[in-house]
Amino acid sequence: MAMAAVLANGDSQGRPQRNYQVVVAGTRDMGIGKDGVLPWKLPGDLKFFKELTLTTSDPVKKNAVIMGRKTWESIPVKSRPLPGRLNVILTRSGSFDFATVENVVICGSMESALELLASTPYCLSIEKVFVIGGGQVLREYLKGPACEAIHLTDIQSSIECDTFIPPVDFSVFQPWYSSFPVIESNIRHSFVSFVRVRKSVAETHESNGKESTEVDTKNDKFETENFSFLPKMVYDRHEEYQYLNLVEDIIRSGAQKNDRTGTGTLSKFGCQMRFNLRKNFPLLTTKRVFWRGVVEELLWFISGSTNAKVCRTKMGLVLSLANDLIYCRVATGSGRAARAAEDSEGSIDEKPTTGDEGVAAAVGLAHREEGDLGPIYGFQWRHFGAEYTDMHADYTGKGFDQLMDVIDKIKNDPDDRRIILSAWNPSDLKKMALPPCHMFAQFYVENGELSCQMYQRSADMGLGVPFNIASYSLLTYMIAQVCDLSPGDFVHVIGDAHVYRNHVRALEEQIQKMPKPFPILKINPSKKDIDSFMASDFKLVGYDPHQKIEMKMAV
């Protein structure tokens, strides 16, 4: 539908206004231009801009792009007005006359433009409103209360600019999606979409005397609950959909399998998910994930401990090792196994099970002291090849310290293709309470960033995988900091990805929930020794997930 130029210069008088989203390309210090033009040529950026601002979900509607007069004039004559979009030009110049140009609207202010777009006929014909420049407009309206989202082409190279805009306010906006970096015209860049989660600047995220691993629900509570205002091409790229789509695929078409618990599973073989660790932290939001447990368990692995009582002492519960149980009393067969989970109020649910005596006998550990898990994950990481006696022995200097070897190689030989951390030691499997599920990790260094690919032989999609994603992402963050690198990617490769039959209903509920922005992880920057980290060194900002979903652990 062609729209002739309209002149709207009225001042705001409290009439309804449209919300808008900003589209901008900027350097690390938010330089956006030089001498009135973009100081870079990135065909991929132009393609992203065109797709973002042109595409609508309703084929009879179009989007509007708002720009200042100088931005309009910087567009090549042959390309203006931008086709397929309503071009709204902000100017008070009386000589700026485009009365004969279709799809052009001239407004004297941003307020009058947003009011006009909220009125008939534009409220019916315009789907989304994008503000695209220039510097003066963005400086004034980047943080405006009607700004729903910011779509930033993050230029990661040093390019001289003379026009700048303010940085994104992370107390108001959080990353929704960040593309993996690409290099074009020798310029490294990525596309990042931020969404407004609060109407105004939030209170400072202080721990208020609590350990940093305790999420401050008051400060982290979002004022925005539904993010479907995003363009579909951006909304659907939230990385949590990898997990949700995989779960749905397994439920719909997974192979029916028997398992050691007798519960039965639906299973797929050879699955992969990739998470970008550069802007946020992949802690799933469609249900609450026990963050404190993620931190404490990983620190326990790093310590090399095989004593389950250490976890129980720190958290007052029996902690699951990924997607299998820790049999804390497996040595005597007299105790009960438990899968612990934390609900939204921080209380603990412990699901009792039966048959531990049979399990203890099956793994041949009836001679062990209560809580002795054998040479499991942490022991293999720090003492691979050492002869295991019991959880009390001092193994200092015994076996091969894989974790320190990984760190040494990353620091001194980052191109090495053998930066490996393995928990799978065939000669020790019969000595373990249960064989390792997340069994193998490889690290990779590129452009000052550390990435990790982990192979998991068996993965409980409902209870284990959300925990596993967070644990190895956290390990990547920690090793990156120790090695003066930045976190890059976490790649999760799964052999047998399965859904237990008694989890299907709960997971069907979960996949109907809409994701929220992932949180941001902050780590005490002074910690440079992998063995020096404590739970209080980790601060999770902006975690406001949906509530916990009950799932019984199969045993």
Q: Are 90 and 110 within 8 A, CB to CB?
A: yes
Tell me the angle at which helices 291-303 and 308-315 cross, rounded to the nearest 10 degrees: 140
Residue 252 in tokens: 């719909």
Distances (CA, A) of 329 to 57, 73, 416: 57, 75, 41
Residue 346 in tokens: 């921080």
Unique residue bearing structure tokens 């250490």: 310
Q: How far apart are CA 486 and CA 469, in angstroms?
A: 18
Intra-chain end-to-end CA distance of the chain, in Å: 62
Q: Which residues contact 13 (CB under 8 A, 6 or more apart)?
A: none
What letter does residue 281 receive in the DSSP assignment?
-
Cα–Cα nearest to 440, from 454, 425, 419, 459: 454
Which of 107, 437, 452, 483 is flagged as catalytic? 437
Which 3 state secondary structure label does DSSP give 406? helix
Cα–Cα nearest to 221, from 147, 152, 143, 285: 285
Measured in whole angstroms, how far is the alpha carbon of residue 183 from the centre of its chain?
A: 22
What residues form DSSP beta bridges with 455? 440, 493
Q: Is 483 a catalytic residue?
A: no
Distances (CA, A) of 233 to 49, 55, 56, 236, 512: 12, 9, 10, 6, 19
For the chain, counts of helices (H) and of strands (E): 15, 22
Length of the chain: 555
What residues form DSSP beta bridges with 448? none
Q: How far apart are CA 92 and CA 299, in angstroms?
A: 61
Q: Are 170 and 192 within 8 A, CB to CB?
A: no
Q: Which residue numbers are catalytic?
A: 437
